[in-house]
Amino acid sequence: MLTDLMDGVEIKGDEAIIEALADFSKRNVPHIKGILNMTIPLDETPVWILSQYLLQLGLSTQSRRPVENGQRVRYYRLNPDDVAFAKRVLEYRQRQREEKQRRRQEKQEHQAAYAARMQTIYGITPPSNPPINEDGSNNRGGMDGDESGSDSWWGRVKYYAGLVIQRVEYGVESVKEFLSTLTSDERWGVMLEFDEVEPLKFGQLVAAAPDWVQWMV
């Protein structure tokens, strides 16, 4: 019904689907109040009840009363301005979902490419997830975890990577000392980010500390 209304279809208010909606609403008044905080009076018309649901979506109706067979008949349709705004909101949300999925895919591909590079160069496979905490939770996020956790984890790792890059000029021991304060997954993430943003300095560090892989354990 909502799809038809969004497409500009008019209704008279006595359609079976609207009658069914009104009957269902009157049978479930407490649930609707609890979920939508909306009160459904038992003596209201089906069209009024429908209008209240539409208001929950930011939609209002317009009506016209043409003469048919010598009698005036009222037709209802959605306000075109409300429909135009709702469609813009839906399109925006769809773009947001697509962008979120694109970023997630890029992270997965990035991690896979890094793991392949590490396997090829050093014969090792870095972890793709942070370790499980003692209480069994996994609140650090991770490449394969939920997106909000992953974003938080990568933000922290990028910050650490910046600190490591600054420490390179103070020597290998300075870098090693800082990395020792991080978890294994954070150390791998830091090295990934380091290699990504400063490949020349990363190469210098690897040349000066060929055993750096042992720091990751």
Q: Which distant-in-sequence residues (6+ apart) come within 8 Å of 212 by Cβ?
A: 176, 191, 205, 206
Structure tokens at 38: 């909306």
Cβ pair 104, 147 in contact under 8 A:
yes
137 vs 161, more confident: 161
- In this predicted structure, the answer to whether residue 169 has a pLDDT above a threshold of 90 is no
Q: Look at residues 217, 158, 168 and name the one whose alpha carbon lies nearest to residue 192.
A: 158
Report pLDDT digits (tens) over 77-95.
Answer: 999 999 999 888 888 888 8
Least confident piece of the model among 129-138, 147-156, 190-199, 207-216 = 129-138
Output the average pLDDT for the chain.
81
For the entire predicted model, the pTM comes to 0.49
β-pairing verdict for 75-78 and 61-64: antiparallel
Instruction: Report the C-alpha gap between 108 and 133 in whole angstroms.
Output: 23
In the DSSP assignment, the letter for residue 133 is P
213 vs 28, more confident: 28
Report pLDDT digits (tens) over 98-129.
Answer: 888 887 787 777 767 766 766 665 565 555 54
Report pLDDT digits (tens) over 45-75.
Answer: 999 999 999 998 889 999 998 988 888 889 9
Amino acid 117: pLDDT: 67
Instruction: Report the C-alpha gap between 165 and 201 in whole angstroms.
Output: 8
